Structure 1
Amino acid sequence: MQNVKLVVVGDGGVGKSCMLIAYTTNCFPGEYVPTVFDNYSANVMVDGKAINLGLWDTAGQEDYDRLRPLSYPQTDVFCVCYSVERRASLDNIRHKWLPEIKHFCPDVPVVIVACKTDLNYTEGRKRDVIRSEDGRALANELKTAFAETSALTQHGLKECFDGAIRLGLGNVSSVKTKSIFSRKSKKKNEQTIFPPVMPPAGKAPWMEIESSTFADNWYKTLQNPKFHDVTFLVEGTRRLHAHRVVICSASKFFGKVLSSTLPCSNPQLLELNHIDSFSREDLNAGKVQGICSVYDTGSSYGLDTTIEISADIKAKTFVRVLEFLYTGSPNVPEDADETEIKELKRLAGIFQLYYLSTICDNILNEEDFLNPSIGSYINDETGAKMKELFMNQEVYSDVVFVVEGTQIYAQKVILSTRNEVMAAMFLGSFMESAQDKITTVNIPHASRENFMSLLDYTYTDHAPLEESEDLVGMMSLADENGLTRLVNLCELYISKEVDRACQNRIERSEIDVVGLLNTAHMLNAKQLVTFCLHFIATNYNAFSKRQEFCKLTGIDRKHVDEHRWPPLDYLQQVEEYEKQMSKRGEKCVLM
């Protein structure tokens, strides 16, 4: 079996590691982990030959310009990568990467590799990406091979590496007659000196995201219907309380029933999903299947709309319908017989609940393992519709927040369902829990942007964090409200922002990772603390030159010193290697 050493270089964040992982595992990595230096190995067949392919990944930041060339000795072929979404990464091939390779390994073949080519087919991105012709033209100019790849879709990966291996095989025999710098040795009898082996830097810690509690939150509210404003009258006497914000968001049918009571000032709500509402006359005349009558009453929470359900519908089955509307899944017991399931499917048809009918079919066909994914999709749809219809809408709001002088409208039932801090405020003994028609709450220490993102998460279970300009402030607000899952999401997005900010050079990056570490401690963001400590320790040399490094104290400083990379003993070996090379009069590989 022949050995081929392939080294991958290029700017930070262009997709080098993703390309290697996707090639060796046939899977796209779920999270981006910044590379310092790493090695992979793969046994492959090319042109009928068994090849042991050694894959060497490198860091592209300028901070590693001194250490990176230690990976170059005995390289058979280089892959120089750029991202089709970053013009600078293509320009740097001409100005940085090819000169560096030619300086140390002038005779080693090179393949210029375009990464993330799937973006060429993404709507809205086609005008922004680098054309294939531009990459090919540069390769022709520099007299190198050219390949296009997508780690996400696997497109071009095999062709790229097969081509690189062929180039490397053609270079193997000639390399054996040269020194480790691909140059003729000046002293034939001298023993070849190899650079010290670089120890692995380790992977960045994995960010765990707390599972969604959206369905569980709403199930508890259905069981304890605080702030209810809808009552279903079933079997003549059974009263099941519910909430307009959920019923209208989860069901077009019941949205049409309830929209007959909506104020005319909100045309969007009046014409739910662009469908005319049922008239009150038709509802009370029995012209709408499943409904006997609809009328308004009062409750301790204010106006309450009563919907009387047809007599042929049992309360036991209708409860399953409500569970579906609130959680995306009817809580059907495992011992439910076929008759119960078919009756629930009949109600799904009456109330035009297509996905509930599908769930029933899956249960009858013993394919209920498909239902959780349906439930997740339904909850996403319900949350999105809830935001569209009710978030920051004065109609049916019972609380107004004042943030930076701006009024923001919301509903207590949504806030108390999804946020325990808000629940304590509106259901406890606080002044805000008074049963006034509208409760005003001042929010003094949050920006409007962050508070709107908090509401977005509360209503939909998602937050537009990729658009946020103040992720740390967002994380602080999430922590104040006890939203641990949102804190986790902020930690993840902040870690990605650190990666992006340090793609070119860590030492001169504008982001203060040490300050971020101290903030993470204050907010009890444990995963972000772990990430920052790893990032600082793994890039010790670069951070030790930054002004804020002295702010590392106590246990944090101890951790960073103990886990510093590269370790001191390796750097000492590098210095000894440099001295020996200098004595021989050969140009050292260190720049």
Structure 2
Amino acid sequence: SVNIVAFGNERDGFSEDNQQPSLIWSYLGRSALISRIDSSLSASHVGSPVFTEYQACVFGNVRLVVHDCPVWDIFASDWYTSCRLIGGADIIVIKYSVNDKTSFQELKDGYVPMVKKALNHCSVPVIISAIGARKSGVPCTCPLCTSDRRSCVTTSEGVQLAKELGATYLELHTLNDFYIQKYFGGVLEYFMIQSLNQKSSEKMKKKKKIQKSHRVQPPQLEQPEKMPILKGEASHYNTDLHNLLCGCQCADVAFYPEDLSTVVEAHKVILCSVSPLFMLLFGVKSPTDIPDTSIVQMARSLFAVEAGAASPPAPHGAPPCILPVRVVVKDSVFCSCLPDILHFIYSGAFQWERLEEDIKKKLKDLEKTEQVLEKVKCILKTPGKLNPVKDCRSYQIKQLYNTSLRLFFNTPVLADVIFKIQGATVPAHRAVLVARCEVMAAMFNGNYLEANSVLVPVYGVSKDTFLSFLEYLYTDSCCPASILQAMSLLICAEMYQVMRLQHICELYIITQLQSMPSRELASTGLSIVSLLKKAKFHNSDCLSTWLLHFIATNYLIFSQKPEFQELSVEERNFVEMHRWPSHLYLKQLADYRNYIHSQKCHCTVM
């Protein structure tokens, strides 16, 4: 059905022709079945029907219901009925006479806002019909005369009213067949068809929704369990080297004042890694290799190497064949500050403010403090590069060792130990090894054969893996080329108890496996079960737990591989318990597929 609500009076209120047929009645004509229903609030309008209901059939079998309210006062007073009618309307028609300016003004100022409020943003089409031919009489200009009520409503005023409501504006000069049936009727029937199409569409959607609610729904695939999170370990690179200085292990250089009253021990490889001056001092470079003459002059004026002189006993941990180099510090003030300077260097050389404060407290002389600090800046110069300590307050050398110690990785320069592995030799420096690896510290400082040997054999690991391991000790970083190489490096790290390197390898393996697409994971020759067993054997609990979850999450892929049978009973039970998709989902999916392909779901015609 289509419900139409019409408001307003198309007759001129001052016209004597009250027998003029209404717009709605004229449209319906003889095909309408009319029944009059007076509102309960029409007592003050006796003899004038308030709401008139028309019923008819249009388009053959479509029921048309029209409620016509020609009196606007009742629209306002019987607000509940008016809102109910507007709420159930498919089309709204507002009528007025072009020759009744007063009624139009009341409609515009008082009733149109009420209609907009009742619509409440509903998308109901509205037709505004301006009815009648404008009379040419000129209204009286007397302010006390009421004859100006017969002023005409202009077309622009009607169009403006239609814009306020978003309505369609029509002018019907007379209620003849053309204006009623073709003009007004054509627009009205267009909106009727639109309303019927919308209702049909909503009915189909509702029907489909009901059918869908009664139909068996496909099972919902739950999300896989969250994988265990592996947390990385913070670097303790600078702390390791600082502890090396504090422990005086494997020291191979001793600084003395000119009176030989005190001694400060250090390590040549650490000092040479931060300063070309120390490279010159310990014979790593010649004066011709250093273009900055100020560094050469500083080395000669500040230090004197006495390698051939008598020296105190070798520092604890050094082989008997390796004697420490004795260096005399010619500047007594600088020598008194040397322990603080070495702590600054071994701690990463970026705590310049702390060094400055320590020297100020020790010397208690601003001029001497500035002289010592200037010498420190000269010592830490980098030839051919930007001077990193030109303004040490604003520039921090936070990457001192991991960039400079790389210069001495896998080189015989200053090396005091040689590893023999797979028929090849790899030179290294005891100071770095002892500082970075507790196992090697015990090996070189304890009652072991390696403590007094320069040549140390290595078993159970390949040369490439051991080189990667040493590279991490020197630079605090590693970059495995593959998952298998990372696993080999993890085994080596576990062998020497370097836990942070072990965590780095674990994270690398996990990252690489997570980035593999399913197709590559199914076709790869890499055995995840083999990785799992190695991780368990070498006490990598975090990685082994993660790999079990990884196998369970990719159950459909790994269950088809032969290696799946190599899992232990305990591992198999864990995977089955945490598998994705679960047994329950697969059973529900099979039941749903059987339902879809059952005869009940087939078309009865087919």
TM-score between both structures, scaled by the size of structure 2:
0.55
TM-aligned CA distance change 1:510 to 1:308, over 3 Å: same
1:324 aligns with: 344
Contact 1:345 1:357 in 2 (8 A): no
Note the alpha carbon deviations across 1:454-490, whole angstroms, 9 max, x for none: 1101111112224675222111111111111111111
1:387 aligns with: 406
Once residues 391 and 573 of structure 2 are traced to their aligned partners in structure 1, the CA distance between those partners, rounded to angstroms, is 57
1:72 aligns with: none
Question: How many residue pairs are counted as aligned between the two chains?
Answer: 377
2:221 aligns with: 198
1:71 aligns with: none
Aligned pairs for 1:386-535 (under 5 A) are: 386-388=405-407, 390-434=408-452, 439-466=454-481, 470-535=485-550
What amino acid is aligned across from residue 391 of structure 1 in structure 2?
F
Asked whether 1:238 is paired with 2:262, we answer yes
- Could you tell me the percent identity over the aligned residues? 24
Once residues 280 and 355 of structure 2 are traced to their aligned partners in structure 1, the CA distance between those partners, rounded to angstroms, is 36
Once residues 530 and 565 of structure 1 are traced to their aligned partners in structure 2, the CA distance between those partners, rounded to angstroms, is 16
2:168 aligns with: none
Contact 2:483 2:508 in 1 (8 A): no
TM-aligned CA distance change 1:258 to 1:540, over 3 Å: closer
What amino acid is aligned across from residue 429 of structure 2 in structure 1?
Q
TM-aligned CA distance change 1:214 to 1:187, over 3 Å: closer
State the 1:185 CA deviation: 7.7
Q: What secondary structure is seen at the aligned counterpart in 2 of 1:433?
A: helix
Q: RCO (CA 8 Å, sep 6+): is it higher in 1 or 2?
A: 1
**Runs of at least 5 residues in structure 2 that lack an aligned partner in the other structure:** 1-200, 315-321, 381-386
Aligned pairs for 1:311-350 (under 5 A) are: 311-313=332-334, 315=336, 317-328=337-348, 329-330=350-351, 339-340=360-361, 347-350=372-375
Q: What secondary structure is seen at the aligned counterpart in 1 of 2:581?
A: coil
Once residues 359 and 439 of structure 2 are traced to their aligned partners in structure 1, the CA distance between those partners, rounded to angstroms, is 43
Note the alpha carbon deviations across 1:291-333, whole angstroms, 9 max, x for none: 2544334452414040405223363x43232112112155987
What amino acid is aligned across from residue 210 of structure 1 in structure 2?
E
TM-score between both structures, scaled by the size of structure 1:
0.56
Contact 1:533 1:559 in 2 (8 A): yes
1:45 aligns with: none
Asked whether 1:550 is paired with 2:565, we answer yes
TM-aligned CA distance change 1:238 to 1:518, over 3 Å: same
RMSD of aligned residue pairs (Cα, Å): 3.8
TM-aligned CA distance change 1:226 to 1:450, over 3 Å: same
TM-aligned CA distance change 1:574 to 1:246, over 3 Å: same
Contact 2:491 2:538 in 1 (8 A): yes
Once residues 571 and 359 of structure 2 are traced to their aligned partners in structure 1, the CA distance between those partners, rounded to angstroms, is 61
Contact 2:254 2:325 in 1 (8 A): yes
**Runs of at least 5 residues in structure 1 that lack an aligned partner in the other structure:** 1-174, 363-370
1:256 aligns with: 277
Once residues 500 and 212 of structure 1 are traced to their aligned partners in structure 2, the CA distance between those partners, rounded to angstroms, is 26
Larger deviation, residues 487-496 vs 200-209: 200-209
2:111 aligns with: none
What amino acid is aligned across from residue 239 of structure 1 in structure 2?
V
TM-aligned CA distance change 1:189 to 1:548, over 3 Å: closer
Once residues 505 and 456 of structure 1 are traced to their aligned partners in structure 2, the CA distance between those partners, rounded to angstroms, is 31
State the 1:177 CA deviation: 10
State the 1:540 CA deviation: 1.8
Selected match of 1:310 from 328, 331, 344: 331
Q: What secondary structure is seen at the aligned counterpart in 1 of 2:471?
A: helix
Selected match of 2:251 from 209, 228, 240: 228
